[in-house]
Structure 1
Amino acid sequence: MIRPFQRLRILSASCMLSASLFALAGCASAPPAQIAVDPVSTPVWVNDMARFEAEDAANPPPAAPIVFTGSSSVRMWDSLASDFPGKPVLNRGFGGSQVRDAVHYADQIAVRYQPRMIVLYSGDNDINAGRSPQQVLSDFRAFVARIRQALPRTPIAYLAIKPSPSRIDQLPRQQQANALLRQEAARLEHVEFIDVATPMLGADGQPRAELFIEDRLHMSRAGYELWRGVVAPYLD
């Protein structure tokens, strides 16, 4: 069966900001007024945006990449290129970020690259910071709306909020958020919910310890190998 993503090709879309504005990596481009989203979680993301700008200058990114963005589970995925050989992947993760941060920095982390696909992992830190599953859903809707303004048909994939031993007390709220996000993706065109969370649980319903490093939060190589196997069929 051919997945929807496999049938999609890139549609060029004009960017709302000039190239000179993109050079100002330290400035978050506020979402348009009609997209309601809370302020960024912290101003430190300006450093990450500057880092991306420097990386782009030193090593120009591939044309029409598959952009992976979101929090530390993406930022620490340093084997991304070797895990998806032949795919023009680009890592634009910024550790500790929340979904609302991806909305504010959508231009810098995704839109300007005119990607063929965007893969987002976020929500983990949101729940940990006390945001509700409903707030995560609302912020995800804002992210999709922001991307759609510039890239109307670019596929967006959301990676489910992962369970982890260090945040096991948050598992019910993570699962509630995942259920809401799955339902949301199902009703949207060119949006997929990729369930990387369920296979990370053992038969006892607890996170599998071998998938994590010593901090019991971030993933080991085994964790990324699991993600690779789940995510690969969705990449165009």
Structure 2
Amino acid sequence: MRKLSLHLAILIAAFLAMPSMAQSQQAAPPFWNEIEAFKQQDSVQMPPENAILFVGSSSIRMWKNLQEMFPKHTLINRGFGGSNLLDLERYLNDIVFPYQPKQIVIYSGENDIASDTVQAQEVLERFQSVFQQIRGKMPQVPVVFVSIKPSPSRIKYNPIIVEANELIKQYLKTQPKTKYADVYTPMLRANGKPKPEIFIQDSLHMNQQGYQIWQKKITPYLIK
């Protein structure tokens, strides 16, 4: 009888614990596991200080030969998930500030627009929030913003993308130690439509031809 009661008590305790465990998992913010993986890597070997930090969404994450394409620079790649500017802001303390980079290159904003809930002005405001927090912690660190690209699968958002790019470009003109790298224009054909040959099958992410365009447009802005 005692064994039965003990087993019953254990089962009840396990059952009661299940909701809290599920809630704990549900409470984890987006891309938490990726950020934790970065932090685990850092605990084993911290990237060098005074490197150039590339950060943002999957177009950065999937740039697997990033370092090879900029051989004269020491780089850190911290692109994650299909993140947006809110996600980047959430993790500044985890994957930006700890590295003490000498320069930060940001690609983010496309997924904000693709959510169907955000217009160009809000993209600007989200970027401003990220930028101002970086400036607050690292006032002398130069920042490069890579313009939001024209993805064939997201062609319907082009008017918002064009407006958001222009708003961010004009804002950066008012901020010292900033550059705006226009990758949007060279990714278009003469008819104004995205070049399909520079994208992989999903018509969203780039192949090596696409990244070569980015390399050409970003290189002049990197600190030597």
Query: Which interval holds the TM-score relative to the shorter structure?
Result: 0.7 to 0.9
1:165-211 deviation digits (Å, cap 9, x = unpaired):
10011111100100101000111111211101110001010000111
Greater relative CO (CA pairs within 8 A, separation 6+): 1
Which residue of structure 1 aligns with residue 99 of structure 2?
113
Decide whether the 8 Å contact of 1:165 with 1:216 is kept in 2: yes
Given the alignment of the two structures, is residue 60 of structure 1 paired with residue 46 of structure 2, yes or no? yes
Secondary structure of the equivalent of 1:77?
coil
More helix by share: 2
Which residue of structure 2 aligns with residue 143 of structure 1?
130
Letter in 1 for 2:90: H
Deviation at 1:121, TM superposition (A): 0.2
Given the alignment of the two structures, is residue 171 of structure 1 paired with residue 164 of structure 2, yes or no? no
1:124-180 deviation digits (Å, cap 9, x = unpaired):
100000211111100111011111111011001110000011001111110010010
Which residue of structure 2 aligns with residue 103 of structure 1?
89
Q: TM-score, normalised by structure 2?
A: 0.85
2:109 to 113, 116, 123: 123
Which residue of structure 2 aligns with residue 162 of structure 1?
149
Which residue of structure 2 aligns with residue 31 of structure 1?
none
Secondary structure of the equivalent of 1:187?
coil
Which ranges in structure 2 are unaligned for 5 or more consecutive residues? Answer: 1-27
Given the alignment of the two structures, is residue 189 of structure 1 paired with residue 161 of structure 2, yes or no? no
Cα distance in 2 for partners of 1:235, 1:88 equals 11
Letter in 1 for 2:139: P
Aligned residues: 195
Cα distance in 2 for partners of 1:44, 1:210 equals 31
2:186 to 188, 199, 203: 199
Given the alignment of the two structures, is residue 48 of structure 1 paired with residue 29 of structure 2, yes or no? no
Cα distance in 1 for partners of 2:45, 2:204 equals 31
Secondary structure of the equivalent of 2:173?
helix
Which residue of structure 1 aligns with residue 15 of structure 2?
none
Cα distance in 2 for partners of 1:105, 1:54 equals 15
Q: TM-score, normalised by structure 1?
A: 0.80
Cα distance in 2 for partners of 1:59, 1:218 equals 29
Q: Give the number of the structure whose alpha-carbon radius of gyration is greater.
A: 2
Structure 1 runs of 4+ aligned residues shifted over 4 Å read none
Which residue of structure 1 aligns with residue 12 of structure 2?
none
Which aligned pairs between 1:76-91 and structure 2 lie closer than 5 A? Answer: 76-91=62-77
Decide whether the 8 Å contact of 1:196 with 1:227 is kept in 2: yes
Deviation at 1:57, TM superposition (A): 2.5
Cα distance in 2 for partners of 1:194, 1:153 equals 19
Decide whether the 8 Å contact of 2:30 with 2:87 is kept in 1: no
Which ranges in structure 1 are unaligned for 5 or more consecutive residues? Answer: 1-41
For the aligned residue pairs, the C-alpha RMSD in angstroms reads 1.1
Secondary structure of the equivalent of 1:213?
coil
Which residue of structure 2 aligns with residue 35 of structure 1?
none
Which residue of structure 1 aligns with residue 4 of structure 2?
none
Cα distance in 2 for partners of 1:218, 1:58 equals 30
Decide whether the 8 Å contact of 2:31 with 2:81 is kept in 1: no
Secondary structure of the equivalent of 1:90?
strand
1:91-119 deviation digits (Å, cap 9, x = unpaired):
00112111121112112121110100000
Which residue of structure 2 aligns with residue 22 of structure 1?
none
Secondary structure of the equivalent of 2:135?
helix
Which aligned pairs between 1:201-216 and structure 2 lie closer than 5 A? Answer: 201-216=188-203
Deviation at 1:60, TM superposition (A): 2.5
Secondary structure of the equivalent of 2:200?
coil
